[in-house]
Structure 1
Amino acid sequence: MGRSSGAFYRHYESKEALLHELLGEFKQRLTLEVTKPMQANEDPIQNLLQRTGAFWRVYRENWPIVTAAFQLSMRDEGFATAWQSARQQGIRAMASVIRQAQALGHAPGMDADLAASALCSMLEFTCYNWMATRGDFPNRDIDDATAIEVLSQLVVHAIGWRTSLK
């Protein structure tokens, strides 16, 4: 790269400080594109579809940052706190949409917080696994349209069901 490590340390105290800043930028993108509040009269199922596609795109664009931050969260309390904050933001937003879907008769009786936690975990790990060099498909580049279609269908079917009316 032709730059000295001294130049780096003039801007950042450590590599971890840089990663904290990048993780903060990732969290901001999630806020803007994935966890933004629903609009009045917006269909919650359609909103879940949009959020799922946005999550895939933001995750793919920030995959190295997310992976490094997640790995550091296992051994560094500061990263664990930052990672938990990002997860909680997503879980709260997903739970809110699930509750709005429930008000329309979808997913009756389901614990919205637990469902949101499970769905967010599925999305996070699937994104990681599909993008990882040694994931389930190491010789396959899964294109955005295919990934978004599969993930969206899983999320919508997990929440979009209704009890049959007799």
Structure 2
Amino acid sequence: MTGQRRESTEQALLRAARTVFADKGFFNAKITDITREAGCSAGSFYTYYENKTQILDALLDEFTGQVTAASLASRSGSPYEQISGVVGAFWTAFRAHRPEMIGLFGLRLTDARYATRWREVRALGVSGIAAQLVEFERSGCRLVGEPQVLASALLSMLESFAWTWIAEDGDLGVPAPGDDEAIATLSRMWFAMLFGPQPDLGDG
């Protein structure tokens, strides 16, 4: 099998796994469901993965890669634009990877390895946010606490809000926010904590 064919088959399996996890949930999904969706044989699956938790790991790697790349790309512009870039990167990636995030959240309650994996995913986010906060502090912003502790609290806010409105059905009696509204709400709360009540959004 050529390298290009191998990559194509593996990408098909990843796309299929995301679809099946979204439709049936991680715990109810079968490997045969994934290979059927991918249009390949069951044997092809085992060329790349030993079990469905390994394909979940690969999808989680995509999630962390997407968030990290988008967050790094947002490290310019005004403070509000930088904050909005980080929030938007997390929200967009969480929505795109909703099935595997639900799988990870479930597994971490019963599997110590996935509890550790989730802490590792969080650690990447905390370190990135903390680095941003340090840069803000150097430019004159007075932080209300230690950067890493603040970063942990801010990431927890992002996770909880994303879980409530993307993974679950939202809060009772609360109109569902669109993605733009959700990102703007979180970004303005974050900005207000650091710089004051309202960002200067210019003419936009």
Instruction: Using structure 1 for the length normalisation, give the TM-score.
Output: 0.82
In structure 2, distance between residues paired with 1:49 and 1:139: 23
1:26 aligns with 2:50: no
In structure 1, distance between residues paired with 2:103 and 2:174: 22
- Aligned to 1:114, the other structure's residue is in SS state helix
1:38 aligns with 2:75: yes
Give the stretch that moved more between structures: 76-85 or 61-70. Answer: 76-85
User: How many residue pairs get matched?
Assistant: 160
Specify whether residues 73 and 138 from structure 1 end up closer, same or farther in structure 2 by C-alpha distance, changes over 3 A only.
Answer: farther
Specify whether residues 57 and 160 from structure 1 end up closer, same or farther in structure 2 by C-alpha distance, changes over 3 A only.
Answer: same
* Contact 2:63/2:97, CA 8 A, preserved across alignment: yes
Alignment of 1:145-160 (within 5 A): 145-160=180-195
Structure 1 runs (4+) deviating above 4 angstroms are 4-7, 137-141
In structure 1, distance between residues paired with 2:114 and 2:173: 28
Q: Which residue is 1:113 aligned to?
A: 148
1:31 is displaced (CA, Å) by 1.4
Q: Which of 95, 104, 111 pairs up with 1:69?
A: 104
Q: Which residue is 1:51 aligned to?
A: 86
Instruction: Using structure 2 for the length normalisation, give the TM-score.
Output: 0.68
In structure 2, distance between residues paired with 1:15 and 1:132: 20
1:84 aligns with 2:119: yes
Letter in 2 for 1:135: G
- How well do the aligned residues superpose, as a CA RMSD in angstroms? 2.6
Q: Which residue is 1:104 aligned to?
A: 139
- Aligned to 1:34, the other structure's residue is in SS state helix
* Contact 1:33/1:54, CA 8 A, preserved across alignment: yes
Which structure is higher in RCO with an 8 Å CA cutoff and minimum separation 6? 1
* Contact 2:74/2:82, CA 8 A, preserved across alignment: no
Q: Which residue is 1:60 aligned to?
A: 95
Give the stretch that moved more between structures: 85-94 or 131-140. Answer: 131-140
* Contact 1:69/1:79, CA 8 A, preserved across alignment: yes
Q: Sequence identity, in percent? A: 30
